[in-house]
Amino acid sequence: MDKATLTQLAEESALDLTTISRNVKQLIELGWVDVLPGERDKREKVLSLNEVGRGVIKKAMPHWRKAQKRVEAHMKQFLKMPTAERLLEALETLQKVSA
Q: What are phi and psi of 98, to 5 degrees?
A: -80, -10
pLDDT in tens, 26-39: 999 999 999 998 88
Could you tell me which residue, 22 or 92, shows the higher pLDDT?
A: 22
Residues of the chain with CATH 1.10.10.10: 1-49
| 1.10.10.10, 1.10.600.10, 3.40.50.2300, 3.40.30.10: CATH of 1-49 | 1.10.10.10
pLDDT in tens, 23-78: 999 999 999 999 998 888 888 889 999 999 999 999 999 999 999 888 888 777 76
d(CA 89, CA 96): 11
Which pLDDT does position 78 carry in this prediction?
Answer: 65
